[in-house]
Chains A and B, each alone.
Chain A
């Protein structure tokens, strides 16, 4: 898999039906009860995500992107419908099983980094690798995001972009099967954003990690295999990119 890292511009349209399905989402709805009012965050989602693909979720604010991603990550459960991961049904999993799922299979990256302020960069990664099954060395993970020289800095001593890269290193250090990112560049300027996206792309290609990224930035969609458009709780459109762009080539 590591060889494919060289061929970054190879179209991955073969990430189609013949590819192994990692997530099988079927008829998922999510309704939030807000007192008298019902908020339909998701209104019936059918979607498959394939092994090794890089998918981008696009959509207006409030269209349900985060809700969907959180359900995929086992942080939330749908009101109706099923989500299958590697053959198992997440919607039927217990709290304990979901915790194990997150622990061993999922890497998360969030808009606000969510680092532990009392732990250094290295320790923020170690906190995950200590409980994972076959993790990489924390130093190695930081190397991947070009932060090999910031090991002993506390989050308060790092810039936003550096914190986000630590968060990515933390997400990939356990060698997760899927990487879920909710607006990873949302709080960053374009230059820093590109550095972060390069880190994500590198992980996706070098480790073959299935990656789903939420963004508001349509430009980012150009580096994906597939672009999934959400509108009002439904999938309105799915585009497959013939050619993927390097992050540095993106028009921000």
Chain B
């Protein structure tokens, strides 16, 4: 008995194959993006956890000026501390043969014959430096790859003012530097920033750190003694290091590289929640419309089956099976697509982050969840239609449905009637007869448009951040960073270099900002009040006048601390005499990167009760002399590093170009699958519902295109309304994502260029045109004779 019903099922599925495929595509997208984002999320977690565990990534980190090794004992005595490792580290200038731009390096000590106790490096190639050798280094993989170096090659470094040739003996990665970015830089730039490891003794000698350290990392015991927790350990360590120039102890969650990774994971989670919801919603809607139509067409068959003694359940199951078949198709392909995209994403993360490996994790739960959610949503979407079909008493179902009732539409009642041709009236009345369905269709198409905008948004946001940060706020060509605070005279010597057009000094001190019970550890910047190279901007991007006294905070920092202009901010300076002062907040500045406080440089120096001191200088230079200036800066012992933004930005764009392409490709795929799914299915159903009407018009002498107008005109109207609506939805989605992505590391500006709108609209229009062409072909098969033979 069931056998023949199943044959009917397959036959029906075959008859509606294009529609089924269009719906399946939407499900493919939903399942695909669900699996992609969740598997990427799981993979990143798993990879990070494994990496951290295997390489003993520390729990707590601290930098300080200089402390004797004897202090280690006291650190170990802090309750809750498990292992402690001290290191010597410094920022240096690097030189690679044939590469003229400034390169800054972060050099760290390695214990003899060891990858370290904590934060162990992952040796990809080569070996560790021989104990005591001052010319052997292990170099970070990203840097090695960017410069196409290999073990045995030499690079040069200026270590504490002395140039030195160093031989690369190994290539490594480190859990501390998964996200590698130079201090103060906006983007990672493996060409101009590298991490290197060298034997401890020669490095200590070079920096006068024999028997001492300036960096310490520790892990916490698995079982903490009573009362001890991460924060108490941090506080104790802070106390201990205070007298040794400690500039703040941080937990793992604040460790820079780890923070970035955490933010990235958060973004993935946002994506994993919003998008599948949209896709599954659209799929449920489409299945509902298509199955409702199918059931309406089969009223009599349903009645006949029931008259023959099939149960309500059997009849209901028949349609549910059809739904499940379509969904299964979508789920199966979606899983494949999801895995493919997940691997693609993971690879992108491998490229963007320095991970030694990527453990691609595809949890069975994720697949099961994807399948179950899509099935449940689809069945829910069609349940009502199926339920009413199953419940219909046979006698009633045998009767054809009552003829459709129409009314004159609002537009016509408003007196526009005269200008509307009969086909146009048909369009309007058909739309008005099913307001909910029309609305949902429009909304579906709008969703497609909205989703498309998300990919463009990320690119636009980056462009805008760069424009504001480097076009308007920071306008120097180079930054020279000093090894330690220097007098104003240092500025004159920079200004006297040939080609330097203008130089402005700045002072940066690490500080803890406190308001009420909230605090944030960052830096206080002293800048020139009337400077032209570093300018603070307000929300309208107008330049802010630095007040005589008082501090200007990054707007997001003010929000974080819940502090308003006029409130007194407590600043604990983490350097020098470590004074604590109260300063009024004079205003906030718009900044997309990092959180800082700003003051006039004299005010800052006065506050610190020190003379005029600089920690670096901003330089505006003549392009022609840029290389020479750089060469001279490198020779200056006072200059620890040189940062150049322009080239960094360029290389950043190069690195992300591929990523952006990948995202654009995926979102176009997703957007067009929704647009096509919604438009094609709506048109097919409209065609089936109005088959008789349209064939009758053909009989009356309407041309195919005149008949098509009635069908396609309706869709065109939906599409035209959907596009602006989609812009709104897209804007909302982007705003939501920007809001979700905001963190103290960076804020994502919500800028949507005209090109983003145009591209989204274009994709929707193209999907619409493709559907229209397919429907146009179907219109050729309109059977005029058949439609005259039967009553509806």
Chain B residues whose C-beta falls within 8 Å of the C-beta of A103 in the assembled complex: 700-702
Chain B residues whose C-beta falls within 8 Å of the C-beta of A114 in the assembled complex: 692, 696, 699, 787-788
Chain B residues whose C-beta falls within 8 Å of the C-beta of A131 in the assembled complex: 701-702, 706
Among B423, B788, B789, the residue within 8 A (CB) of A127 is B423
Chain B residues whose C-beta falls within 8 Å of the C-beta of A182 in the assembled complex: 788
Whole-angstrom distance between the Cβ of B351 and the nearest chain A Cβ? 57
Considering the chains assembled together, what is the distance between the CA atoms of A96 and B780 in angstroms? 12
Q: Is B4 an interface residue (CB 8 A)?
A: no
A66 contacts B701, C-beta separation under 8 Å? no
Whole-angstrom distance between the Cβ of A160 and the nearest chain B Cβ? 11
B702 contacts A99, C-beta separation under 8 Å? yes
0/1 per residue, A89-112, Cβ < 8 Å to B? 000000110011111101010111
Chain A residues whose C-beta falls within 8 Å of the C-beta of B407 in the assembled complex: 154
Among A101, A108, A112, the residue within 8 A (CB) of B791 is A112
Q: Is B70 an interface residue (CB 8 A)?
A: no
User: Known: A118-B433, A182-B788. Is A155-B403 also a contact (CB below 8 A)?
Assistant: yes
Residue of A nearest to B429 (CB): A118
Among A99, A104, A187, the residue within 8 A (CB) of B698 is A99
Chain A residues whose C-beta falls within 8 Å of the C-beta of B696 in the assembled complex: 114-116
A66 contacts B789, C-beta separation under 8 Å? yes
Whole-angstrom distance between the Cβ of B691 and the nearest chain A Cβ? 12
Q: Is B784 an interface residue (CB 8 A)?
A: yes
Q: Is A238 an interface residue (CB 8 A)?
A: no
- Most chain-B Cβ atoms within 10 A of its Cβ — which of A66, A111, A114, A126? A114
B433 contacts A127, C-beta separation under 8 Å? no
The secondary-structure label for the interface of chain B is helix
Chain B residues whose C-beta falls within 8 Å of the C-beta of A60 in the assembled complex: none
Chain A residues whose C-beta falls within 8 Å of the C-beta of B788 in the assembled complex: 66, 70, 75, 110-112, 114, 182
User: Known: A117-B693, A156-B404. Is A126-B701 also a contact (CB below 8 A)?
Assistant: no
Residue of B nearest to A112 (CB): B791
A118 contacts B406, C-beta separation under 8 Å? yes
Give the size category of A's interface with B: 35 or more
Q: Is A188 an interface residue (CB 8 A)?
A: no
Residue of A nearest to B788 (CB): A110
Q: Is A80 an interface residue (CB 8 A)?
A: no
Considering the chains assembled together, what is the distance between the CA atoms of A119 and B428 in angstroms? 11
Q: Is B405 an interface residue (CB 8 A)?
A: yes
Chain A residues whose C-beta falls within 8 Å of the C-beta of B701 in the assembled complex: 99-104, 106, 128, 131
Residue of A nearest to B433 (CB): A118
Whole-angstrom distance between the Cβ of A185 and the nearest chain B Cβ? 15
Whole-angstrom distance between the Cβ of B701 and the nearest chain A Cβ? 3
Interface residues of B in 655-705 (CB under 8 A from A): 692-693, 696-704
Considering the chains assembled together, what is the distance between the CA atoms of A100 and B700 in angstroms? 10
Q: Is B790 an interface residue (CB 8 A)?
A: yes
Considering the chains assembled together, what is the distance between the CA atoms of A96 and B702 in angstroms? 10
- Most chain-B Cβ atoms within 10 A of its Cβ — which of A70, A75, A104, A116? A116
A127 contacts B784, C-beta separation under 8 Å? no
Q: Is B425 an interface residue (CB 8 A)?
A: yes
B404 contacts A117, C-beta separation under 8 Å? yes
Considering the chains assembled together, what is the distance between the CA atoms of A96 and B403 in angstroms? 31
Chain A residues whose C-beta falls within 8 Å of the C-beta of B425 in the assembled complex: 118-119, 123
- 19 A-B pairs within 8 Å (CB atoms) are namely A66-B789, A70-B785, A76-B785, A99-B702, A99-B703, A100-B701, A102-B700, A102-B701, A104-B701, A112-B790, A114-B788, A115-B696, A118-B425, A120-B408, A123-B422, A127-B697, A130-B421, A155-B403, A156-B406
* The 6 nearest A-B residue pairs measured at CB: A103-B701, A127-B422, A102-B701, A114-B696, A118-B429, A118-B406
